[in-house]
Amino acid sequence: MKRIVLLRHGESIWNKENRFTGWTDVELTPRGIEEADRAGELLREEGFVFGKAYASYLKRAVHTLDRVLRRLGQEWIPVEKTWRLNEKHYGALQGLDKSETAARYGEAQVLAWRRSYDTAPAPLEADDPRHPRFDPRYAAVPPVLLPATESLRDTAARTIPYWSSIVFPELMHHDALLVVAHGNSLRSIVKEVKELSDSEIVGLNIPTAAPYVLEFDDRLRLVRDYYPGDPDEIAARAAAVAAQGKAAPGTERNDA
């Protein structure tokens, strides 16, 4: 049996503030640190020994990975970081409050921006200081590949080639791999692995710091996927993620 664990980072400051984050590099909250530690403890209890780990360039994922490996006592394993595992770029929405945005534009529009496969928010202007072309960590990335906004399809266009050519083949050499990334970059991978339709992916919400296990047979065929731990807790945490895009009561847009 071969296993890959997909892990969304722990709660970040902008998760707590219910803001669109995207490629904005924000810290974990104290709760997010605790979530990362608990994820590491759960993986240790489940007996995971990883051969290699992968993370995005964003520190909320990197710091989550560091804490998980520390809890596992596996700080020594090789780690590869890549921009291709970054969160979906939310363009001009980055920094905006999700509930306030839902009140202004409607929950259906925010759901499309957050969870649909093809809908991208308005892009950043080329001279916007938030554009990744101004960030030194992306200096080696061809400028044409750096997004000003992304749909989930766009996100998948960079994550899936990396998954297919780098991560997945590595499973031939190890019993377990760990991928620490973000809600949407991981959703794009799950869509690929489970062959979900564009409509099915809308309903997939990945909780922070909840290990999601993909099990494969020796021919690398998916045989099982699951969250270890309390299923009711996982369901509640996924529902909370889904609710982030709803307007606060009494502020909903009236389209009548």
The residues that are catalytic are 9, 87
Q: Are 1 and 217 in contact (CB under 8 A)?
A: yes
Half-sphere exposure (Cβ direction) of 2: Cα atoms closer than 13 Å = 18
* Counts for the chain of helices (H) and strands (E), in that order: 9, 6
Give the chain's end-to-end CA distance (angstroms, integer): 55
Spatial CB neighbours of 93, under 8 Å, sequence gap ≥ 6: 20, 22, 101, 113, 121, 122
Across the beta sheet with 2-8, the strand order is: 79-81, 52-55, 176-181, 2-8, 212-216, 222-226
